[in-house]
């Protein structure tokens, strides 16, 4: 039987929910002997400057997010399957869909941020944007502890 999933992408935003999604993605990748790709999308330097009202050095931010992503992957895996870490910069939903298309992934596994309905109405849902734009299946974990 041909494996359905050869490449699985999992966005990590360093929340407990995203770590739970990564563990689920890792388990799925183990079942299918798939390649797992962990992705973090850091805000653009313009977004960081606006949020913090002070200049931020790009290399420092990039180094910090790379270390955090690598640490998260390292703590959640046992080396049984290949796991790749990719750091992106920009608007999260767009970057996740772009890298999924470019790498021709077979599935995206992600957590839905815990927000109330008013916040979703006001700000939109990044998860829903990814689901609406992705050309592959998107598995969404909601309020799940693994």
- Contacts with 66 (C-beta within 8 Å, 6 or more apart), sequence order: 85, 87
Asked if residue 146 is part of any domain, the answer here is no
How many whole angstroms separate alpha carbon 84 and alpha carbon 38? Answer: 6
Task: Name the domain count of the chain.
Answer: 1
Asked if residue 93 is part of any domain, the answer here is yes
Residue pair 101/130 in contact (Cβ under 8 Å)? The answer is no
Q: What pLDDT, in 10s, does the model give residues 74-127?
A: 877 777 888 999 999 999 999 999 999 999 999 999 998 765 665 555 556 788
Show the domain range for 102.
Answer: 7-141
Asked if residue 130 is part of any domain, the answer here is yes
Q: What pLDDT, in 10s, does the model give residues 11-42?
A: 999 888 899 999 999 999 999 999 999 999 98
Q: What is the pLDDT of residue 1?
A: 45
**To which residue do tokens 């299946």 refer?**
137
At 90, is the secondary structure helix, strand, or coil? coil
Q: What is the pLDDT of residue 44?
A: 75
Q: What is the pLDDT of residue 142?
A: 81
Asked if residue 1 is part of any domain, the answer here is no
Asked if residue 42 is part of any domain, the answer here is yes
Asked if residue 2 is part of any domain, the answer here is no
Q: What is the pLDDT of residue 51?
A: 55
**To which residue do tokens 């870490």 refer?**
85
Residue pair 9/96 in contact (Cβ under 8 Å)? The answer is yes
Query: DSSP strand E in the chain: where?
Result: 7-11, 35-42, 83-89, 107-111, 138-141
Q: Is the pTM of this model over 0.85?
A: no
Asked if residue 118 is part of any domain, the answer here is yes
- Contacts with 15 (C-beta within 8 Å, 6 or more apart), sequence order: 111, 113
133: CATH: 3.40.50.620
């Amino acid at each position: 039987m041909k494996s359905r999933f050869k490449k699985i992408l999992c966005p990590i935003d360093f929340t407990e929910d995203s770590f739970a999604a990564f563990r689920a993605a890792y388990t799925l990748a183990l079942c299918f002997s798939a390649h797992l790709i962990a992705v973090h999308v850091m805000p653009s330097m313009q977004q960081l400057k606006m949020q913090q009202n002070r200049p931020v050095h790009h290399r420092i931010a990039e180094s910090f997010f790379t270390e955090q992503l690598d640490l998260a992957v390292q703590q959640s895996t046992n080396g049984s399957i290949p796991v790749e870490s990719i750091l992106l910069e920009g608007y999260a939903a767009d970057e996740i869909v772009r890298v999924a298309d470019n790498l021709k992934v077979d599935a995206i596994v992600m957590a839905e941020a815990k927000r109330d309905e008013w916040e979703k109405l006001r700000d939109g849902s990044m998860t829903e944007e990814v689901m609406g734009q992705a050309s592959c299946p998107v598995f969404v974990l909601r309020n799940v502890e693994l």
